[in-house]
Amino acid sequence: MENLSHMNRELLIRSPLFEPLHCVLQRLEHDRFPTLDDLNLQLSEQAEIKLLSGKSLRFVEQGLGKLAFESQYEPRCYLSGEVQTREHNLHDLFNALVWLTFPHSKAAINARHYRALTQAASSSQSQRGSVRDMATLFDESGVIVACSNSHLAKLLCDFKWKELFWSCREDVTAQMGFYLFGHGLYEKAIQPYVGMTGQGLLLPVEVEFFTWSMSQRMQYLDERVAEYLNDATHCRDTRELSPVPLLGIPGWSNVNEQKEYYDDQQYFRPVRRGNNSKSNNE
């Protein structure tokens, strides 16, 4: 898919994988790939998005060549509010759409990157590290898992996929919500494949959460995830995320309507020895 044709756009709007982005997708033009002007227009039509530095967000062309620290992707975003975005690039388009949907969470991730980078620069350490690895993994492949049932959350953390997605199928539909966050994951979801896996951040919610409109749920989750990410004691290791085999989620694929589908241990892998992923219900 190289553009957002009318048919493809409508297919995305009907897909449960793209449900968090439906409100934004519905506002895009039907017959052409969104431009930077289109994305900035979307910004102007909703509440102002601010970075934790206080700068207002806007989408700009990507800088080229070797860049000074303050002009590199994360520092430039934090210091100036400018998100470098390549035109006619699906990966960057989905990044922008996630900014428009989860602005507080994206700002929190950017701030974590900026703090880690400035600390590394001042101490001559590597620019990578567990905090940035965690932020990058969630930013690219994250799934927000809202759950009002602690038993279901434990089944997910324990990799009890068949029990969760088949034996507890009705409970999962009523008491769990899976909302793609990672923009890299959205790009993959255009052509879903067996093996596609997200990295889940589990958040406890009240059962009433599932009666709210999609826009209300997205706003609530955005605020909750941002609050979690802005706590420096959280999200310091990728093991805090729980793998989620996305095509096992009830309603997300026709093939998972057969019990035997969940016997594929290449996809629905058993718990890893020493696995430390956990629910934020704890």
In a domain, 245, yes or no: yes
Q: What is the average per-residue pLDDT within 254-261?
A: 95
Amino acid in the structure at residue 109:
I
What confidence score (pLDDT) does residue 1 get? 45
Regarding whether 110 and 161 lie in a shared domain, the answer is: no
CA-CA-CA-CA torsion sign (6, 11, 14, 18): negative
Amino acid in the structure at residue 220:
Y
Query: 57-66, 160-169, 210-219 — which is least confidently predicted?
Result: 57-66
Q: What is the average per-residue pLDDT within 31-44?
A: 92
Regarding whether 46 and 149 lie in a shared domain, the answer is: no
Out of 135, 163, 195, a domain closes at 135
In a domain, 277, yes or no: no
Regarding whether 156 and 131 lie in a shared domain, the answer is: no
In a domain, 107, yes or no: yes
User: pTM of the entire structure?
Assistant: 0.91
Using one digit for the tens of pLDDT, what is the confidence trace for 70-86?
A: 888 899 999 999 999 99
In a domain, 169, yes or no: yes
In angstroms, the CA 36 to CA 254 distance is: 36
In a domain, 106, yes or no: yes
Q: What is the average per-residue pLDDT within 132-141?
A: 93
Regarding whether 168 and 96 lie in a shared domain, the answer is: no
Tokens representing 10? 């409508």
Q: Which residue has the higher pLDDT, 258 or 280?
A: 258
In a domain, 268, yes or no: no
**Residue 267 pLDDT class (50, 70, 90 cuts):** very high
Regarding whether 170 and 206 lie in a shared domain, the answer is: yes
In angstroms, the CA 166 to CA 278 distance is: 22
List of long-range contacts for 11-17, beta carbons under 8 Å, 24+ apart: 12/190, 15/189, 16/251, 16/252, 17/180, 17/186, 17/189, 17/192, 17/246, 17/252
In a domain, 124, yes or no: yes
Regarding whether 171 and 83 lie in a shared domain, the answer is: no
Q: What is the average per-residue pLDDT within 172-192?
A: 96
Percent helix / strand / coil, the chain, rounded to 5: 55, 10, 35
Letter string b/e over residues 118-139, b meaning 16 or more CB atoms within 10 A of that residue's CB: eeeeeeeeeeeeebbebbbbbb
Regarding whether 124 and 143 lie in a shared domain, the answer is: no
In angstroms, the CA 180 to CA 199 distance is: 9
Regarding whether 116 and 230 lie in a shared domain, the answer is: no
Regarding whether 237 and 128 lie in a shared domain, the answer is: no
Tokens representing 119? 């600390």
Q: Which residue has the higher pLDDT, 241 or 121?
A: 241
Q: What is the average per-residue pLDDT within 230-253?
A: 90
Out of 84, 105, 135, a domain closes at 135
Using one digit for the tens of pLDDT, what is the confidence trace for 137-162?
A: 999 999 999 999 999 999 999 999 99
Number of structural domains, the chain? 2
> Are 123 and 239 within 8 A, CB to CB?
no
In angstroms, the CA 227 to CA 214 distance is: 20
Out of 91, 112, 135, a domain closes at 135
Q: What is the average per-residue pLDDT within 23-37?
A: 87
Amino acid in the structure at residue 18:
F
User: What is the domain extent for residue 111?
Assistant: 6-135
Regarding whether 140 and 126 lie in a shared domain, the answer is: no
Instruction: Report the percent of the chain where pLDDT is more than 90.
Output: 72
Regarding whether 95 and 10 lie in a shared domain, the answer is: yes
Regarding whether 229 and 112 lie in a shared domain, the answer is: no
In a domain, 37, yes or no: yes
